[in-house]
Amino acid sequence: MSSVITDEQIALRLKAHDHGIAFGEAVRVWARIAALSFGGPAGQIAVMHRILVDEKRWIGEERFLHALNYCMLLPGPEAQQLAIYIGWLLHKTKGGLVAGTLFVLPGFLAILGLSYVYVLLGHVPLIEGLFFGLKAAVLAVVVQAVVRVGSRALKNSVMRGIAVAAFVAIFFLGAPFPLIVLLAGIVGYVGGRSGSPAFRGGGGHGPGGGAIVHDRDTALGEALPEHARANLGWSLKISGALLMLWLAPVLALVLLLGSDDVYARIATFFSQMAVVTFGGAYAVLAYVAQQAVDQYGWLKPGEMLDGLGMAETTPGPLIMVTQFVGFLAAYRDAGGLAPLIAATLGAILTTWVTFVPCFLWIFAGAPFIERLRGNKALSAALTAITAAVVGVILNLAIWFAIHTLFGRVQPIGIMGHRFDAPVLASINWPAALLSAAAALAIFRFKLGVLTVLAGSAAIGAAWFLFAQGV
């Protein structure tokens, strides 16, 4: 029996009851969620599930997972998009705008403050030591991400084969991340249409176990809210407005400043990233690192790790690390502006073009998503993309390891392509030992990420102070 919702079924749901959730109360709850959103997408989605489903009972398990599955099909940070989706579901457009903005705002302010500290005080032994410790711990966190995503996604030999192929393509052959995602999605879609059992099952960060809260037992109930009805006119109107907000600044910067200007490059690069970066934050970071470090030269590999350490220890999406990239890019190419002012503008621009598209994807697609419920081919495409992402994250882990644990690298050619290999004699033993200790704390003693990051930063600071004789 087809699981696609028919027009007749939708028509029966059009008159939803008043859920009774005051908008002011929702704003306070979204602010609370934003303040607690540490630990990457898995932790952020778990926080939303605990508060919105288990505690508040505003929406049910089925509706929460349906929204999450849609968000995972989209490029960009799925946790923020899930907040936009649920905020829109509860309080229409203004609900989605508030939920999505609050989800990003605390992290933006925190990373902006840390970026000021980084460029102004980065060479003070205490600050250098803090970031040295964070880099060593972040390496262990990325390895944990490989294990966590891999254990969920690589359920059979086909999925493992896709992951291996993705790793070989990006690490040895330098294949662009968007191409890898596209090919994996096509393979998964075709596999799903063929009915192959290897492509069954989904990715994503599902909520934990416990008693299920059904839609019928929640404030929103099972009915479809009036504003959630598919409306082509509304979708075109809101999509046009968001497209203008997103792309008009990009076009203006390119036309006024030229395509080689740092702001024009930031706007175009991160706009492209917003369209093609499927697969979660760590996969996105592999793409950003590949381009920002190797192609544009905006920052060094170690600085990319510093930025990831900031994002890991502040609330909000991990993809907020892109803000740090834009900050440093503009700081080092300030033109006629004061470096800190230029850097602040770079951070704001990066954040704008990274997150405005997230609102577009949700507002344009969410009203139609009921028609996609249970689509096996799309689910299979997501499954294959998730498997490919494992290989991409492994590439990120190795790339970080090479540039964190070794002082020098040497290029090696293979099949006409070049990749960096470490010079073993240049190993940084303090960094290697601290990374090993962080991995032991995470995998053996099951300590939380924030605890490990804080402990590693403290050890790194103590080491640098000792080495400097302070």
Both tokens of residue 299?
């920052």
pLDDT number for residue 203: 46
pLDDT number for residue 137: 85
Q: Compute the mean pLDDT over every residue in the chain, rounded to the nearest whole number.
A: 84
For the chain, what percent of residues have pLDDT higher than 90?
40
pLDDT number for residue 91: 92
The residue among 47 and 438 whose pLDDT is bigger is 438
Cα R_g (the chain), whole angstroms: 22
Q: What is the pLDDT of residues 456-466, one digit of tens each?
A: 989 999 998 88
**Cα dihedral sign, 180-185-190-196:** positive
pLDDT number for residue 216: 85
CA distance 334 to 338: 7
pLDDT band for position 207 (cuts 50, 70, 90):
low
pLDDT number for residue 246: 97
Please determine, for residue 370, whether its predicted confidence score (pLDDT) is greater than 70: no
pLDDT number for residue 150: 82
pLDDT band for position 282 (cuts 50, 70, 90):
low
pLDDT number for residue 134: 83
Both tokens of residue 449?
């990420």
pLDDT number for residue 2: 41
Please determine, for residue 202, whether its predicted confidence score (pLDDT) is greater than 90: no
Contacts of 275 (CB under 8 A, 6+ apart): 75, 357
Please determine, for residue 186, whether its predicted confidence score (pLDDT) is greater than 70: yes
pLDDT number for residue 205: 52
Cα separations in angstroms, 315 against 20, 79, 105, 128, 253: 29, 12, 9, 22, 30
Question: Out of 123-132, 276-285, 390-399, 407-416, which region has the weakest mean confidence (pLDDT)?
Answer: 276-285
Please determine, for residue 280, whether its predicted confidence score (pLDDT) is greater than 90: no
The residue among 296 and 381 whose pLDDT is bigger is 296
pLDDT number for residue 49: 87
CA distance 344 to 350: 10
Both tokens of residue 170?
């990006």
Closest CA to 29 of 108, 123, 114, 99: 99
Q: How much is the average pLDDT of 390-402? A: 83
Please determine, for residue 372, whether its predicted confidence score (pLDDT) is greater than 90: no
CA distance 45 to 381: 22
pLDDT band for position 440 (cuts 50, 70, 90):
very high
Question: Out of 161-170, 189-198, 308-317, which region has the weakest mean confidence (pLDDT)?
Answer: 308-317
Please determine, for residue 285, whether its predicted confidence score (pLDDT) is greater than 90: no
State the Cα angle at 385 between 181 and 446, rounded to 5°.
Answer: 120
pLDDT number for residue 16: 42
Q: What is the pLDDT of residues 219-240, one digit of tens each?
A: 888 777 877 777 888 888 999 9
Q: How much is the average pLDDT of 318-326? A: 92
Both tokens of residue 404?
């964190």
pLDDT number for residue 260: 93
pLDDT band for position 124 (cuts 50, 70, 90):
confident
pLDDT number for residue 181: 79
pLDDT number for residue 201: 60
Q: Cβ-count burial of 248 within 10 angstroms (0-12 exposed, 13-18 middle, 19+ buried)?
A: exposed
Both tokens of residue 80?
């923020």
For the chain, what percent of residues have pLDDT higher than 70?
89
Please determine, for residue 11, whether its predicted confidence score (pLDDT) is greater than 60: no
pLDDT band for position 3 (cuts 50, 70, 90):
very low
CA distance 186 to 387: 13
Please determine, for residue 13, whether its predicted confidence score (pLDDT) is greater than 60: no
The residue among 259 and 415 whose pLDDT is bigger is 259
Please determine, for residue 241, whether its predicted confidence score (pLDDT) is greater than 60: yes
pTM: 0.76
pLDDT number for residue 369: 75
Please determine, for residue 198, whether its predicted confidence score (pLDDT) is greater than 80: yes
The residue among 86 and 377 whose pLDDT is bigger is 86
pLDDT number for residue 238: 93
